[in-house]
Chain A
Amino acid sequence: MSNDGSRETNGPPSDGVGGSPLSGVRVLDFGTAWAGPHATETLALLGADVVKIESRKRLDLFRTMAGMETTPGFNDINLSKRSLCIDLSREDGRGLARRLTAVADIAVDNYRPGVMERLGLDYQSLSVINPKIICLSVSAFGATGPEASRAGYAAIFCAMGGLAHLTGYPDWEPALVRSPMDLTVANASAAAAVAALWDRDETGVGCFVDMSASDVVTNLIPGAVAAWDLEGVDLNRQGNASSSGHLQEVFPACGEDSWVAVSVWNDEQRESLADFVGESDAKSQLRSWIATRTAPEAADALQRAGVPAVPTMSPIDIIGDQHLQERGVFERLHHPMQGDVLALGRVWRTSSGPQSITRAPLLGEHSREVLGEWLNLTDVEIDHLRDAGVLE
């Protein structure tokens, strides 16, 4: 522990009923940037032992953006993992990776289809070594179909999957939802991995899960798909307006770029609103009333009056929010290169109480430790691998 009480230790989270349901599950993270790493991060936060396979020759995209060990993006997407640095451009490096998959439960990547095949680390190859392995591969359009080889980032699959067309103002260009797309794909991937574990509990065999980011996006627009199918209508974006016509709008509050979202969807709430602002021209009344108050004050007063409302929260609002702090959403960790950092922890609470999370790993920080634990390699054997250049 550092002097101020923040935790400096790194590694898999502590075991415990409720907080570590995936305790004992071993995961290899071959991913980069967002989708693959956050999927395995979710598994790590659920107690899995996640080892990130990295290479100095081909760094995780986020490690290249600012300082290698100090990029907030990397350090927040790779919590509670360990790092093992292998040169996968060498056959003996790939051989070492295959030995690790022999004792792993899940292997995750988010490369374009074909990359893991070229490395000999695809499901076809690994299932021969370990029939229980679950391989999860995340790509923009999936591993099959005419677009399988196409490149994609969040903005592209947001557009191709149909969500961009439906987001934003009707008289303005479509709005691209970006990082939440990557992270939603990651969350869907984590869910598929745990479902595969559950299935393996019964069948005893693993599988290959081929996740399409674009299909995850399409999954978010069933209303538009149904409207097209049943009525031949292509829905358009409608800003913040409710599709059912009830009062739903975002009003400016006092302060720069400060807003209050209001939505009133049942009779009881409508009566409350009428009691609050009067019967006529509720929108104008609300607009005038909210404009003279801060967003938190306005939202709280409206909620107390029975009118559903929230502040549109910025990152600064979220960090300083009393309710979220009370809920224990954030944890303060100590990173040897970054110093004290605030991390968003688990997005659930259990009756067994909180479990700790640990900081993101330094590059190759746990190579010796993981090889000793997973493969029972001795220090001499590990030194040999390092001297030969297999370990970076």
Chain B
Amino acid sequence: MPDGKPMHLRTTVVELGFEVATAHVGWFFARLGSEVTVVDSNLPTILDHLAKIAGGSGEERDLSSLGLLTLLGGKKFVLSDESTAFAEAIQSAEIILWNSRAQGIATPDALLRRYPQALVVAVTPFGLTGERAWWQANDFLTYHAGGDAYFLPPGAGAGTRPPVAAGDFAPGRMAGWSMLATVLAHARQVRREGRGAILDISRQEALLDLSRVEIARAANSNLVESRFTKGYDTGGIMFARDRPVVLMPLEDHQWQRLFALLGEPDWSQEPEFATRAGRVKHAPELQARLQAWVADHTSDEIYSMGQDAGVPVGVVRKASDVVSAPQTQERRSIASELTPIGRPVLAPVLPFAVRHAEIWSNPDV
């Protein structure tokens, strides 16, 4: 490939309004070589705010918002929809990503009339139609309306605490991943047929896709779940000496291997522990014994012993752990890139590698 990238999406994209889900779609295109332009008159304020956070110290700062920098990487900026730069960008755009922040610029219908060969992707909290079409909602709110927040945090101990949304940028980026194949496929079709279209994507509906099985169970088998029923009767989160781990033996043979790691104590030899029903029946005792064993070791020891024995185990990693993990380093899953505030920042790259012939590459690096 001319620039060394093993996969290309050569197209032009304009993001009208800057918000996470559409910025995620634009980010994917930018990572694979497309020309992406962001139009938002508030960008200088956003960038100034992020620069102050990155350069500040001491007082409480919204450090998490620094993640916005990674969604801006590789893109061009136009600050006004009345500029020549804007006219040039939108005239050549094959894909126009529109969100609620762009309402003052043009409606999706007006955009399609004006640029009939473009794919106009309208991403809104609840869709362009329906009784909630006018509702305001950020990613936190659409996550709560999208089905999964109802199941968090999982476990009988959730008690009277409210449901929670997934952390960091997950609500917006999960919606972004959910809509991306659709955008790509329709953009490819528009390009082939030379006829534009409007895609009406609701962030709520994009997130419903992620709870589809729970919805299907409730609708079709009378199995109604909640966060109180979603915890693990056996295994799950346990606390090693240094940090939490996740024990996930799901199949009987995996449990037998776990018991072998524990030295096959007498109780594990009882026939009841050979089946899930039996293990659940003895859950309090089983959990206590597992927790005691885990607490005697570091998380790395539990992970190595478990995985080497064929028991699915994981470590609850912080960002610093993820960055320094050998797997991350080997696959170059996180890379440094220059940001619009002039400082490089580590950012997750595309989560896949591509191989043509004998050469492995991450298309993003």
A304 to B85, CA, bound (A): 37
A385 near B: Cβ within 8 Å? no
Asked if A343 meets B318 with Cβ closer than 8 Å, knowing A72-B221, A166-B168, the reply is no
Please, which residues of chain A bring their CB within 8 A of the CB of B292? none
A194 to B181, CA, bound (A): 6
Contact, CB under 8 Å: B318 / A162: yes
Please, which residues of chain B bring their CB within 8 A of the CB of A143? 353
Contact, CB under 8 Å: B181 / A191: yes
B7 near A: Cβ within 8 Å? yes
Interface centre among A152, A161, A198 (most CB of B within 10 A): A198
Q: Name the distance in Å between A237's Cβ and chain B's nearest Cβ.
A: 6
- Interface size for chain A: under 10, 10 to 19, 20 to 34, or 35 or more residues? 35 or more
Contact, CB under 8 Å: A152 / B202: no
B141 near A: Cβ within 8 Å? yes
A252 to B163, CA, bound (A): 10
Q: Name the distance in Å between B30's Cβ and chain A's nearest Cβ.
A: 13
Q: Name the distance in Å between B308's Cβ and chain A's nearest Cβ.
A: 9
Residue in A closest to B161 when the chains form the complex, CB atoms: A169
Residue in B closest to A233 when the chains form the complex, CB atoms: B63
Name the contact of B315 in the complex, choosing from A160, A201, A242 (C-beta under 8 A). Answer: A160
Asked if A310 meets B353 with Cβ closer than 8 Å, knowing A176-B154, A219-B348, A223-B63, the reply is no
Please, which residues of chain B bring their CB within 8 A of the CB of A209? 352-354
B residues 312-365 touching A (CB-CB < 8 Å) = 312-323, 326-328, 330-331, 333-334, 343, 345-348, 350-356, 360
Asked if A18 meets B197 with Cβ closer than 8 Å, knowing A144-B353, A310-B135, the reply is yes
A103 near B: Cβ within 8 Å? no
**Stretch of A89-97, A258-266, A277-285, A370-378 at the chain-chain interface:** A258-266
Contact, CB under 8 Å: A315 / B188: no
A326 near B: Cβ within 8 Å? yes
Asked if A163 meets B166 with Cβ closer than 8 Å, knowing A175-B154, A348-B182, the reply is yes
A362 near B: Cβ within 8 Å? no
Name the contact of A166 in the complex, choosing from B112, B167, B310 (C-beta under 8 A). Answer: B167
Contact, CB under 8 Å: A225 / B319: yes
Q: Name the distance in Å between B221's Cβ and chain A's nearest Cβ.
A: 5
A184 near B: Cβ within 8 Å? yes
Please, which residues of chain A bring their CB within 8 A of the CB of B236? 155, 176
Please, which residues of chain A bring their CB within 8 A of the CB of B169? 220-223
Please, which residues of chain B bring their CB within 8 A of the CB of A306? 136
Please, which residues of chain B bring their CB within 8 A of the CB of A315? 147, 150, 211, 214-215, 217-219, 224-225
A residues 41-88 touching B (CB-CB < 8 Å) = 42-43, 46-47, 66, 72-73, 75-77
Please, which residues of chain B bring their CB within 8 A of the CB of A141? 327
Q: Name the distance in Å between B182's Cβ and chain A's nearest Cβ.
A: 5
Residue in A closest to B354 when the chains form the complex, CB atoms: A207
**Interface size counted on chain B using CB atoms at 8 A:** 139
A102 near B: Cβ within 8 Å? no
* Contact string against B for A residues 294-323, beta-carbon threshold 8 Å, 1 for contact and 0 otherwise: 000000000100101111111110110011
* Secondary structure call for the A interface: mixed
A318 to B145, CA, bound (A): 9
Residue in A closest to B8 when the chains form the complex, CB atoms: A199
* Contact string against A for B residues 27-42, beta-carbon threshold 8 Å, 1 for contact and 0 otherwise: 0100010000000000
Residue in B closest to A251 when the chains form the complex, CB atoms: B162
B138 near A: Cβ within 8 Å? yes
Q: Name the distance in Å between A1's Cβ and chain B's nearest Cβ.
A: 20
* Secondary structure call for the B interface: mixed
A244 near B: Cβ within 8 Å? yes
A364 to B268, CA, bound (A): 40
Please, which residues of chain B bring their CB within 8 A of the CB of A215? 331, 333, 348, 351-352
Asked if A310 meets B212 with Cβ closer than 8 Å, knowing A197-B188, A350-B186, the reply is no
Interface centre among A43, A166, A222 (most CB of B within 10 A): A222
Asked if A347 meets B9 with Cβ closer than 8 Å, knowing A145-B330, A221-B169, the reply is no
Interface centre among B65, B181, B347 (most CB of A within 10 A): B181
Q: Name the distance in Å between B329's Cβ and chain A's nearest Cβ.
A: 8
Q: Name the distance in Å between A34's Cβ and chain B's nearest Cβ.
A: 8
Q: B residues bordering A, Cβ < 8 Å?
A: 6-10, 28, 32, 54, 60, 62-71, 112, 126-132, 134-138, 140-142, 144-150, 152-154, 157, 161-170, 173-174, 177-182, 184-186, 188-189, 193, 195, 197-202, 205-206, 208-221, 223-226, 230, 236-237, 244-246, 248, 250, 307, 310, 312-323, 326-328, 330-331, 333-334, 343, 345-348, 350-356, 360
Q: A residues bordering B, Cβ < 8 Å?
A: 17-18, 21-22, 42-43, 46-47, 66, 72-73, 75-77, 123, 141-147, 150-153, 155-157, 159-169, 172-180, 183-184, 187-199, 201-202, 205, 207-212, 214-216, 218-231, 233-235, 237-240, 242-245, 248-252, 257, 259, 261, 263, 265, 269, 303, 306, 308-316, 318-319, 322-324, 326-327, 329, 338, 341-344, 346-352
25 A-B residue pairs with CB within 8 Å: A151-B312, A159-B315, A159-B316, A165-B317, A169-B164, A174-B316, A188-B180, A191-B28, A191-B177, A191-B180, A194-B181, A207-B7, A207-B355, A218-B322, A235-B319, A245-B60, A245-B62, A250-B164, A261-B149, A310-B137, A310-B141, A327-B205, A347-B201, A349-B129, A351-B198
Sorted from nearest, which 6 A-B pairs have the closest CB atoms? A166-B167, A223-B67, A156-B314, A215-B351, A223-B64, A222-B67
Apart from A165-B319, A231-B66: 16 A-B pairs, beta carbons within 8 A: A21-B188, A72-B219, A75-B220, A144-B330, A160-B314, A172-B153, A174-B237, A176-B237, A179-B210, A215-B331, A226-B345, A229-B323, A248-B140, A261-B141, A313-B150, A318-B147
